[in-house]
Structure 1
Amino acid sequence: MDLKITVSNPFGHRVSPYADQIRDISNNWIDAEYSTLTPAFQRMLKTLDAACWASNCWPDAPFPLLCTITRIVLFVTAFDDFYASLSTREVQKAGDRVLAIAGGAVPLPGEHPILQQVSIIMRELTAVSSPQWVQKFIYYLSQLMEGIKIDSQISYRQDVQYPAIRDYIPLRRKSMAAGAISCTIELVAGILPEFICVHPYIQRTRALTEDLMGWGNDLASVEKEMADKEAMNLVLVIKHERNCCMEAAVEEAVQMYNAHVREYMQLRSDMPDFGIYTPAVMKFMEGQGLWLSGQLHWFDQTDRYKPEG
């Protein structure tokens, strides 16, 4: 499915000049830091091409920050792919370690290589952000851990337990790490004061763009996730709730996506006056658009959702 044709994309697009360099570094990380995982799992991480995603979604990030964002994308994907299909107890235990390490705990000797990544990520983020931003990132990590735990209880089984559409939407934001990933836009565009971040206008733009991140992924990955018996996919949730054919479910998901884009663009047109912070908010929202457009371009380039991916 060519999502650049199917879904609305009124946003600009450009690619980081560091894309090829970051890809080489990312592949070296996989070879060295994920070396104790199976060759098949390492191939999967390379197939993801996290560097391509980061370079398309954060094209203006300086080189060190783009490395960190790529590391975050690798970690989130690796954690989800490795742990989500395990028992709830194992997911809970791993999630507890993620949050402990994010909060400053030192990785244990022999700690799982995926969990060791958290220490590196937090050290790099602390150097380029603020204490308040770091706490926000940790909160979103806790949301991710909760989302993956719920996903592990309803997916990867013969009798997939699809949630209702109304329940799926907030759950998807958690399981997709939408909050943790989207708040990195601030690291590129400029960290916003907390009173701006909690403004209803900013909160709504974040909810819309985080939904769009998840829904775009669901449209691109529907065939793979149906085969993997995953419940957290908008198309499959619609198909189950409406008891309709796949074509109708895809059409409704696309309509939901495009409606969110229209609402978001209307919000951009009606932006309130944030005083001296108005230019910073405008830059943040430009970053949101680049993020969404970059993801659509990444879908064309990654092999993750292809049959052999």
Structure 2
Amino acid sequence: MKPENFNPRDYLPLNYYPWPNLINPHVDKIGKEMDDWIDNDYTFLSEKLRGKYKRQKQHYCMARMIPTASYERAVPCHRFIHFYDTLDDQMEFHTVEESEPILERLITILKGAQPLTDENAFFQHAALFRDEFLAFMPEIWLERFTEALHRCFKYGIQAEAPYKGTSTIPRLAQYMVIREYSVNMLPFFYLVDVEVNFVLPKFIEEHPIIQKLRTLAVRIIAWQNDIHSLPKELLLDTEVFNLVIVLQHEYNLSLEAALTETMRIHDADVAEFIILQENLPDFGIYQQQVQDYIKAIGIMIQGINTFYIVDTSRYVPDGFAWPERNSNE
């Protein structure tokens, strides 16, 4: 198979997963607000990049991830997805040393600090969605959300930077560990709490089955992302964090064989997730709420795949908002 003949939909078609395919009814209203954020707040980005972000329609991704959230609860979730995706994109070529003060400052703001007037929209919007979430979520939820975000910063964005900086393809074992964080999904699962208005009690939050279900969901979405983003990543030598590319290098596989192995890994994770979902432990009075919580994570998985196929230009070669600088400039 030649790269130009690869079509992600041949591997992950619409409605591939067993969960409902839904969308939030407030999607268009919030989409207009997101365009305003891009135009009026993210002004440190060039006009070209701002145009790309508007065409990427990130609000559709979040609307498919939290389809039953009220408008008030959906707004900070949408503010967060634009913040996170844009931050991750624009740090593509940052070294660990360059990213460290930025990421630590953002965590400090989420823990209560106020942004300075001259700090850009990343810092301003972090404070905004922090306060918006705290209007209806408890402090313990924000602590969990912030810790998940911090782990993705430290063990994802920063851990993959040395590989990207040197265009070094990691070994498969290294990749599998780092990718669980660099796909940046851990904090997004806490948006389920926002949607369903239920914060897991500590004994459920820390239960190994719940932790395993989250890990499997992260992996599924990572492999999903690797398949859908492969066309644009084959065009840039710094894009070495893709399971298909790693498998090709590790085992000297053709593109087609690496895709087959990627789908085998993906489908095995989906099957394990479903087995655990259908055989949850007894959580007593919280049983139905936990079942609804895990189903909502499944809806997220389905919704993100639909977003790739139906809504966005983000993952086509000319649609991605590559930074207009590199770490040496």
> What TM-score comes out, normalization by structure 2 length?
0.89
Aligned to 2:102, which of 88, 94, 97?
Answer: 94
- Cα separation, 2, equivalents of 1:305 and 1:29: 22
Corresponding residue for 1:206?
A: 214
Aligned positions of 1:224-263 closer than 5 A: 224-228=232-236, 229-263=238-272
The question of whether the paired residues in 2 share the 8 Å contact of 1:91 and 1:149 is answered with: yes
Q: Separation in 2 of the partners of 1:50 and 1:5? A: 20
State how far apart, in whole Å, the 2-side matches of 1:115 and 1:84 are: 18
Give the letter aligned to residue 275 of structure 1: G
Q: CA shift at 1:6, angstroms?
A: 8.7
CA deviations 1:159-188 (Å, max 9, x no partner) are x22222222223112122211111211211
2:138 matched residue in structure 1 = 130
Query: How far apart, CA to CA, are the structure 2 residues paired with 1:186 and 1:277?
Result: 14
Query: Which residue matches 1:56?
Result: 64
Aligned partners of 1:106 and 1:119 also within 8 Å: yes
SS of the aligned residue for 1:5 comes to coil
Q: How many residues align?
A: 307
CA RMSD of aligned residues (A): 1.6
User: Do the aligned partners of residues 262 and 8 (structure 1) sit closer, same or farther apart at CA in structure 2, a change above 3 Å counting?
Assistant: farther
Structure 2 counterpart SS, 1:155: helix
1:169 equivalent among 176, 191, 194: 176
Instruction: Note closer, same or farther for the CA distance 1:258–1:8 as it changes in structure 2 (3 Å cut).
Output: farther
Provide structure 1 residue ranges, at least 5 long, that are not aligned to the other structure: none
1:230-256, Cα deviation, whole Å (9 max, x unpaired): 122111111111121111111111111
Unmatched 5+ residue regions in structure 2?
1-7, 320-329
Check the 8 A contact 1:30/1:46 in 2, yes or no. Answer: yes
Q: 1:184 — aligned with what?
A: 191
Q: In the alignment, what sits opposite 2:32?
A: 24
State how far apart, in whole Å, the 2-side matches of 1:23 and 1:9 are.
26
Indicate the residue corresponding to 1:120 in structure 2. 128
- One-letter amino acid matched to 2:178: L
* Runs of 4 or more consecutive aligned structure 1 residues displaced over 3 Å after TM superposition: none
| C-alpha distance in structure 2 between counterparts of 1:171 and 1:125, whole Å | 28
Instruction: State the one-letter code of the partner of 1:66.
Output: A
The residue type paired with residue 182 of structure 2 is S
Tell me if structure 1 keeps the 8 A contact 2:235–2:317.
Answer: no
1:54–1:69: 8 Å Cα contact kept in structure 2? yes
Query: Once the two structures are superposed, what CA deviation does each residue of 1:107-155 show, in whole Å capped at 9, x if it has no partner?
Result: 1231122222211121112122111111111111211211111222111
8 A contact 1:84–1:151 mirrored in 2: no
2:16 and 2:302 in contact (8 A); partners too: no
Q: Deviations over 1:175-232 (max 9, x none)?
A: 2221111121121122111110111111111111111111111110012123232122
The corresponding residue for 2:18 is: 10
Contact 1:57–1:290 (8 Å) recurs in 2: yes
Structure 1 residue 305 corresponds to structure 2 residue 315:
yes
Separation in structure 2 between the aligned mates of residue 85 and residue 290 of structure 1, nearest angstrom: 33
User: 1:128 is paired with a residue of what secondary structure?
Assistant: coil
Aligned to 1:278: 287
The one-letter amino acid of 1:279's match is Q
Letter in structure 2 aligned against 1:252: E
